[in-house]
Amino acid sequence: MAHFEKANSIGEWLDQRLAVETLKRVLQTEYWIPKNINFLWAMGMVLAATFGILLISGIFLLMYYQPNVNLAFDSVNYTIMSQVGYGWLWRHVHGVGASVVFLIIYIHMFTGIYYGSYKKGRELIWLSGMLLFVLFSAEAFSGYMLPWGQMSYWAGMVITNLFSGGSLHANGLVEWIRGDYVPGQAFLNRFFMLHVLLVPLAIIGVIVLHFGTLRIPHVNNQDGEEFDFAEAAELYKAGNVKESKVIPFSPVFLSKDVLVMGVYFLFFFYLVFYHFEFAMDPVNFDPANGLKTPTHIYPEWYFLWSYEVLRPFSTNIGLIAFATAQVIFFMLPFLDRSPNVAPASRRGAFQIWFWLMLLDILVLTFMGKLPPQGIWSTVGLVAALTFFALWIALPIITKFEKKL
């Protein structure tokens, strides 16, 4: 056995057995963050905190929620909302959290795109981040099924029907996913399992991976500048804090993160207490009815852009367009052919590409909410075609980009 000395404090006792000092050094005091970054770099920790809040509120909802087609609706809308002490709080926190987490995810993604933080050694950060986006989408969709209202049922119907592959007519696959001919008890139970166990477990795993991928390349900075972290760290440790280009993650950088989080949570709890209704679709306050479709079916706001890519086309083309839109962002590090790691503002044509892409996603989002009629159909179609045109243009314009 290893030799142990008598410890003089709890900290020392733990350090002998768990090497907590080494852990603290590696993960906090000597994990280096560039100085030249702004509040947008706090979005990652804001996301982590929001996930924590979803987890805690979800655990309390879980105490009264009933995954049964006859009971689910009332267990949420009656028991949790009006019987359970502060049940409404968990529900509103959970609903607002699920919606706002996507707003922050989109900001986080577009920050990465703007500063070129997916290139040259940072590809895995981008890929694991996209994996998190897909997992959060699955988490939000499966959670949306649980209150078993009209929107739950019909969103479940429409989204699982996507898997019939249009003309492939793969009804067997759709029924396999549902465990029934239509969404029913088997369907609710398996999406409940996914929502409260399998997907959150996968999310936690991929968050760890995402952090791991950051370690070696380090986070990017506002100028895309490449510098020697070891050298900068030595400078900092030697006391030349001003001259060094880096600061330690904890406690120095974390205190800045906490400031941004503070502002964010003011906004968050303002929504929870005064504007939770934006996260609660009124149609979902009618219990699920398999014999009546709501007049308009639309997803939550964060899925609208990809829904609008599906809508203007015929079944098969629509499906291909939708499937492509779901995965195309994974390809970004490989479709951007320019070696420049720099903010979009210094990258010529790419700057135009960036703002057009952002604008196009916004237009698609607004069109997705409007009924598919008249001029809105046309605007939606043009925006959907622009989306694909931009992705086709990306390798070409970045190929010709001037090397900085």
Partner 1 sequence: MANNTKGRRDFMGMALGGFTALGGIGALYAMKRTWDPLPSVKAAGFTTIDLKDVQDNVLVTEKWRGKPIFVLKQSKEMVAKAQNEIGKNGKKSINRLIKIGDNYYMVAVGLCTHLGCIPGYNPEKEDFLCACHGGMYDATANVTKAPPPRGLDIPPFKIDGTKLVLGEAGPEYKKMLADGTTLAV
What residues line the site for partner 1 (CB under 8 A)? 154, 157-158, 161-162, 166-167, 169, 171, 175-182, 184, 186, 190, 290-293, 295-297, 311, 313-316, 318, 371-373
Q: Closest distance between ligand HEM and the C-beta of residue 268, in Å?
A: 14
Element (H, E) at 246: strand 246-248
Instruction: Using the rule CB under 6 A, give the single segment among 13-21, 59-67, 231-239, 359-367 that binds ligand HEM.
Output: 59-67
Which member of 44, 143, 156, 343 binds ligand HEM (CB under 6 A)? 143
d(CA 72, CA 261): 34
Is residue 145 classed exposed, middle or buried when 0-12, 13-18 and 19+ CB atoms within 10 A define those classes?
A: buried
d(CA 360, CA 367): 10
Confirm if 309 and 321 have CB atoms less than 8 A apart. Answer: yes
From the list ligand HEM, partner 1, none, which binds 215 (C-beta under 5 to 8 Å, kind-based)?
Answer: none
Confirm if 150 and 142 have CB atoms less than 8 A apart. Answer: no
**What is the number of other CB atoms lying within 10 angstroms of the CB of residue 227?**
13
User: For residues 25 and 169, which CB has a smaller minimum distance to partner 1 in the complex?
Assistant: 169
Report if residue 91 touches ligand HEM, rule: CB under 6 A.
yes
From the list ligand HEM, partner 1, none, which binds 274 (C-beta under 5 to 8 Å, kind-based)?
Answer: none
Distances (CA, A) of 313 to 45, 325, 372, 379, 384: 39, 14, 11, 13, 9
Report if residue 61 touches ligand HEM, rule: CB under 6 A.
yes
Which member of 19, 26, 27, 59 binds ligand HEM (CB under 6 A)? 59
Instruction: Using the rule CB under 6 A, give the single segment among 20-28, 135-143, 340-348, 395-403 that binds ligand HEM.
Output: 135-143
Alpha carbon 288 to its chain's center: 28
**Residues near ligand HEM, by CB under 6 A:** 51, 54-55, 58-59, 61-62, 65, 76, 91, 94-95, 98, 101, 136, 139-140, 143-144, 146-147, 195-196, 200
